[in-house]
Amino acid sequence: MNLKILIVDDNKAVRGLIASRLRDLGYIVDQAADGKEALERLIQLAESEIRPNIVLVDWNMPQLDGISLCKWLKSCQAYKKGPHVYVLFLTINEGTESETMAYRAGADGYIVKGSWGELEAKLNAVKDRIIEEAELRKTIATLQQDPSGVLVKREIIDRLGRRAAQNDQLPLGIVLIDIDGFKEINDTHGHVAGDQILEAVGKRLQDSVRNGNVGRYGGDEFLIGLPGCDRETTEKRAQDIVARLTADPISTSSGAIAISISYGTAVNADPMSLDSLIELADRALYQQKRKKKKVVNLFPT
């Protein structure tokens, strides 16, 4: 794992020497000539995938010193999200008082300049923590994800439940969809083909609902959240999503299989619990499936 380090130091020679040494250790190095330039760089990279993992900052710099830069970074909402950014002071300021001041500003480490062994040891310790955190995030993401690729039931229920409880952010539209005749698909083509259909439906749903509010509700049912959508918009979105899900047959180990989808919608234009919303959507889904069965019975094969 190649970690990214931003070196902030107003001494060009010192900055270059440190950068060269860190590149030899395998780090990806960026540089800023002072605190102000570093602040501009950090603002630019805040939402980027290439934002630094570690900021190695000098204490005394013109315009914006290391303490002020550290305080800004630790209070910035954009940097409170995502992977933790470690701030290490590399300074000539020795003594307990300076070290205490650095940690109170939010620093993750304090190294006196010239101690290469101490710097390398501290960076190795931070690297181990970053790798552990990345593995933990990956594990959590895996636990949140259903085999079909969308969120597991408890995760989608938790997300939409919190959204439904925020009365100041109404409305919330939800869509409950169901694959018609899924049991017959499993019986005819086998469970491997059935699983492949669920995976394909999950992928198409993720492409259709890009804000991540889609999860497996159970069996062949999927639950979709549409924040900010009124009844008309929710119904239109549901129709568009179903059209995308059924536009093309799904390739499986048993050949291409065309599917049809039933759906039900509900909207909490007024305060309403998520359970009540899902119950309304489930009723609408059931009514649509009944209508389809009546149409099929009129024209028996």
User: Which region, left, alpha or beta, applies to residue 136 given φ > 0 means left and ψ of -120 to 50 means alpha?
Assistant: alpha
Catalytic-role residue among 207, 220, 248, 270: 220
Q: 91: how many CB neighbours lie within 10 A of its CB?
A: 19
Classify residue 53 by its DSSP letter. Answer: S
Active-site residue 158, yes or no?
A: no
- Cα dihedral 205, 210, 211, 216, rounded to 10, equals 10
DSSP letter, residue 212: S
Nearby residues of 242 by Cβ (< 8 Å), 6 or more positions away: 177, 261, 263
DSSP 8-state assignment for residue 151: B
The pair phi, psi for residue 230, each rounded to 5°, is: -80, -175
As a whole number of angstroms, the distance between CA 209 and CA 160 comes to 14
Q: Smallest Cα–Cα separation from 92: which of 157, 167, 158, 11?
A: 11
* Of 216, 134, 118, the residue nearest 176 (C-alpha): 216
- String of DSSP letters for 62-120: SSS-HHHHHHHHHH-HHHHSSSPPEEEEEES--SHHHHHHHHHTT-SEEEETT-HHHHH
What distance lies between CA 61 and its chain's CA centroid?
36
The catalytic site residues sit at 220
